[in-house]
Amino acid sequence: MLKGEIKMNKTYKYLGLRFIALFLFTNMVTGQDFFFGNNKPIAEAGNDIKTLSGEMIFLDGSRSFVGDGSKIKYHWIFSPGLVLKNDNDLSSEISIETYGGEYIKSVQTNKQVLKVKVHNNDPGTKLEVVLKIKDRIGFEDKDTLLVEYIAPKTQKKATPKMVINPPSTPLDVSFDAIGDKTNLDGIFIQGFSNKGIRDIDAQIINSIIMDQIKSIGFQFNVFLDTDIQGKQKPEGYKDECNSDLCIAKNAIALNARYFLAWNFAQSVDNLSLRVFESVDQETLIKEVNIIGPYVQMNQSGVYGLDKELRSSVSRLLGTNNFKKEISIVDRLIMKNTSLISYGKYPLILGAAYLFIDKVFTDDESDPDPEMPPGFPHD
């Protein structure tokens, strides 16, 4: 009897250990955590970035999250040669590491969006930025983005014959320093002052617009109003604007040829984006409206607008005004994005080819070959 009980206990113990092992294996494979729930941190570094040498970039980790409720520390790790220490004042962040005291290796911060100035590198250079986050239990996750350097667009020199005297304008800005339109360069981006959205959301909208402008081949300077903060502002520059006229003044003060203004409508759920020439803000080049932005932001955050913002920017810059600023290839890609996307599906392209071939080619059977003279021979 005693031997039977011992044998039974060993069996139960063996089965119990097997069950625990199976449970832990299943837990590991599915990502579930029995003790802490499925709350492991998720790092989101954002989309890859295209930039010119010496420009400011926004590293946005706001889509990262930790399910245990702990405050997120964003640990950004930079490739050597990307961020020069002397170009960036990061003394207010939690900690900084460097490569030999010259280039910044990593930054730990509580800020969801970190703004850094990139160092000079050759066009075509691609450098990695890694975002790591960790919860208070010790679980960690990381995500990587690429910073790609693009070549500045060569600008044509202005000729003395092209001097233009600007027409009378309500802008309270002197045009003497501007001379002619050919001396103006780039595009300025600014949204209306809106207390209904967070400052960080406005920064993210600006950064999405800027990234899309560069992605479609507009390689002139891109000025963000947030870049002007804390710098020596041009005379007459205003941090807060609630009219296209005000933004036009800021653009002229920065010598930007174009400006892109955006704002949320007060009475309806609508986001309007408009583009003008700075010296002619009364003539609208193009306007695009995004319907229902607040609904999308409530569901997915400000990044719920990413796709429509990028599409809207492509439509704004797809006009004839920007032919010289965007290459023919980039314009074709921009205007035929949906068509080009089918290239990802070769079976669809193959089926389409067979269908066209069947419909539009002659379906007659091949004619019989000609017989030689006198065939058949007697």
Q: Find the domain containing 119 and state its range.
A: 49-149
Q: What is the pTM of this model?
A: 0.56
Among 286, 303, 326, which residue terminates a domain? 326
Among 290, 309, 326, which residue terminates a domain? 326
Task: Give the pLDDT score at 274.
Answer: 94
Task: Give the pLDDT score at 366.
Answer: 52
Does 200 share its domain with 143?
no
Total number of domains constituting the chain: 2
Task: Give the pLDDT score at 201.
Answer: 85
Residue 361 within any structural domain of the chain = no
Does 134 share its domain with 238?
no
Task: Give the pLDDT score at 368.
Answer: 56
Does 196 share its domain with 318?
yes
Task: Give the pLDDT score at 3.
Answer: 55
The domain spanning residue 114 has which CATH number? 2.60.40.10
Dihedral sign for Cα 165, 169, 175, 180, please: negative
Residue 44 within any structural domain of the chain = no
Among 121, 149, 177, which residue terminates a domain? 149
121-176 pLDDT, tens digit per residue, is 999 999 999 999 988 888 899 999 999 998 876 544 444 443 334 444 444 444 44
Asked whether the predicted pLDDT for residue 341 surpasses 50, the reply is: no
Asked whether the predicted pLDDT for residue 19 surpasses 50, the reply is: yes
Does 200 share its domain with 106?
no
Q: Where is pLDDT greater, at 218 or 77?
A: 77
Does 318 share its domain with 225?
yes
Task: Give the pLDDT score at 36.
Answer: 47
Residue 95 within any structural domain of the chain = yes
Q: Where is pLDDT greater, at 17 or 164?
A: 17
Task: Give the pLDDT score at 234.
Answer: 82
Residue 117: pLDDT band by 50, 70, 90 thresholds? very high
Does 213 share its domain with 268?
yes
Does 83 share its domain with 142?
yes
Range from 104-118, 269-283, 341-355 carrying the lowest mean pLDDT:
341-355
Task: Give the pLDDT score at 232.
Answer: 65
Task: Give the pLDDT score at 258.
Answer: 92
Residue 19 within any structural domain of the chain = no
Q: Where is pLDDT greater, at 218 or 36?
A: 218
Does 299 share its domain with 216?
yes
